Amino acid sequence: MRRYLYGLFLLAYAGAAAALTQAEVMAGAERLYRERMRELQAQHQLDADPDFHQRVQRIAQPLIAQAAHDYPESAAWPWEVHTAPEGDDNAYAMAGGKLLVSRAYVHKLLLTDAELAMLLAHEIAHAVLRHNLLEYEEAMRLEPAWRQRPFAELEDAVDNDSALMRKLAPLGMRQEAEADREGLKLAWRVGWPAPLLARYFQKLARASHAPNFEQFAHPAPSQRWKAAQELAAALEAAGR
Ligand SMILES: [Zn+2]
């Protein structure tokens, strides 16, 4: 009887761990994104610069169409691309393809259209590669107690619990490098010249106060620039 109960416990435990799905992660992201959009709306910031908003849409939509082709799961997602003139958010994509891009950030770095395409493609790559889901799974592997707790708490912890964030940093670093690589390839497949895409990373490195050092969960900007140049050269050599 004891053994049987233990077996049941294990089953329940495994079930809880397996319960987190892409759909659940997307629902959580949708809720957080909606909250942020409501805040921006209340501050008259949401998509408030029509020229900038149209520029971002014009560059983002072909990337999203390419992603739908290359990552078929994402074709069914309710993608959204919004912009804000100011604010702390540089640019991000939440699970399920919810993007926000800051005009202040794009203007500060003086991004060309190709460089903006690289920024967007990096964010789109995070979404289609399911980086959020993989991060939550890694958190539950590192700290199994999370399997028993509500998902909303874990969602908050990966952004605010510094001890957990430190443990997740190696994965975050790999995900950033992967989003750089797969994002550059995605934008290149859309038709952007690879060397022009790579220059986004040159601008990041130039704007950085410490280009040779890793930043929290991001590889060193100089390293990202070097990797992008190498990938661009390889894509150029391979041809379309
Ligand atoms: Zn990233």
* Mean pLDDT calculated for residue range 69-95: 92
Looking at the chain, the whole-number percentage of residues with pLDDT higher than 90 is: 81
Is the per-residue pLDDT at 37 higher than 90? yes
For 196, half-sphere exposure in the C-beta direction (CA atoms, 13 angstrom radius) is 12
Is the per-residue pLDDT at 16 higher than 60? no
pLDDT band at 214 (very low <50, low <70, confident <90, very high): confident
Question: Residue 5's pLDDT is what?
Answer: 46
Question: Residue 188's pLDDT is what?
Answer: 98
CA of 92 to the centre of ligand 1 (A): 7
Question: Residue 208's pLDDT is what?
Answer: 86
Is the per-residue pLDDT at 1 higher than 50? no
CA distance 211 to 140: 32
CA of 3 to the centre of ligand 1 (A): 46
CA of 128 to the centre of ligand 1 (A): 12
pLDDT digits (tens, 9 = 90+) for 162-207: 999 999 999 999 999 999 999 999 999 999 999 999 999 999 999 8
CA of 139 to the centre of ligand 1 (A): 18
* Predicted TM-score (pTM) of this structure: 0.90
CA of 55 to the centre of ligand 1 (A): 21
Task: Decide if 37 contacts 84 (C-beta within 8 A).
Answer: no
Question: Residue 198's pLDDT is what?
Answer: 98
Question: Residue 163's pLDDT is what?
Answer: 95
Domain ranges of the chain: 17-238
CA of 158 to the centre of ligand 1 (A): 15
Sheet containing 98-102: order of strands: 80-84, 98-102, 91-94
CA of 17 to the centre of ligand 1 (A): 26
* Mean pLDDT calculated for residue range 26-39: 95
CA of 76 to the centre of ligand 1 (A): 23
> What's the token pair of residue 220?
């060193």
CA of 185 to the centre of ligand 1 (A): 15
pLDDT band at 8 (very low <50, low <70, confident <90, very high): very low
CB count in 10 Å sphere of residue 63 = 23
Is the per-residue pLDDT at 218 higher than 90? no
CA distance 88 to 121: 20
Is the per-residue pLDDT at 10 higher than 70? no
pLDDT digits (tens, 9 = 90+) for 92-137: 899 999 999 999 999 999 999 999 999 999 999 999 999 999 999 9
pLDDT band at 2 (very low <50, low <70, confident <90, very high): very low
CA of 126 to the centre of ligand 1 (A): 7
CA of 189 to the centre of ligand 1 (A): 20
CA of 8 to the centre of ligand 1 (A): 40
CA of 113 to the centre of ligand 1 (A): 19
CA of 176 to the centre of ligand 1 (A): 5
pLDDT band at 86 (very low <50, low <70, confident <90, very high): confident
CA of 123 to the centre of ligand 1 (A): 6
Average the pLDDT over each of 17-26, 178-187, 224-233 and give the range with the smallest value.
17-26
Average pLDDT value for the chain:
90
CA of 145 to the centre of ligand 1 (A): 27
